[in-house]
Amino acid sequence: MRFWCLLSLVFLVVPAQAAQTVGATWYGNELRGHRTASGEMFFTTEYVYRSKMYGGPDNIPDATVDSWDQVAFRLGYRSDSDWWGTFWVENAFDEEYFERGWENADADNQYGYGLFNELVWPARPRSFGVTIGKNWK
């Protein structure tokens, strides 16, 4: 079993919302509209796809990253008093892949000063977290 802990502090500069939403409405990838007495609930999804990527100019197979995709979900609340909180899940389906390859030597893994062509930076496993923020005017 793998565990990953991420603590983030996020500061965003966001213009004030000019109008309130009635009903549920999609804004890009965000579903807004469930009003409460003091704010609004929202839900977002994120899908990322990267095609096959080479680790350098020589396109060496040992340093070539296969294509991958990833899905994230966020469920949050924006209060009318300018604070917000979001529960998020990244890499929701726990995809395993490498994010990058490095070409350190030639195609025969020679002349790399002891370094080999390889895949590096495995993807983070499924991650859960909470982000809380405040907007200042």
According to the model, what pLDDT value does residue 14 have? 32
Neighbouring residues of 118: CB distance < 8 A, sequence distance ≥ 6: 62, 63, 101, 102, 104
pTM beyond cutoff 0.75: no
**Cβ atoms 89, 62 nearer than 8 A:** no
Neighbouring residues of 112: CB distance < 8 A, sequence distance ≥ 6: 104, 105, 106
What CA–CA distance (Å, rounded) separates 126 from 86?
Answer: 17
Is the pLDDT at 127 greater than 50? The verdict is: yes
> What are 31-79's pLDDT values in tens digits?
666 777 788 888 899 999 999 988 888 888 888 889 999 999 999 999 9
Neighbouring residues of 133: CB distance < 8 A, sequence distance ≥ 6: 10, 11, 12, 83, 84, 85
Is the pLDDT at 105 greater than 80? The verdict is: no
Q: Dihedral of CA 5/11/13/16: which sign?
A: positive
For residue 127 the two structure tokens come to 């991650």
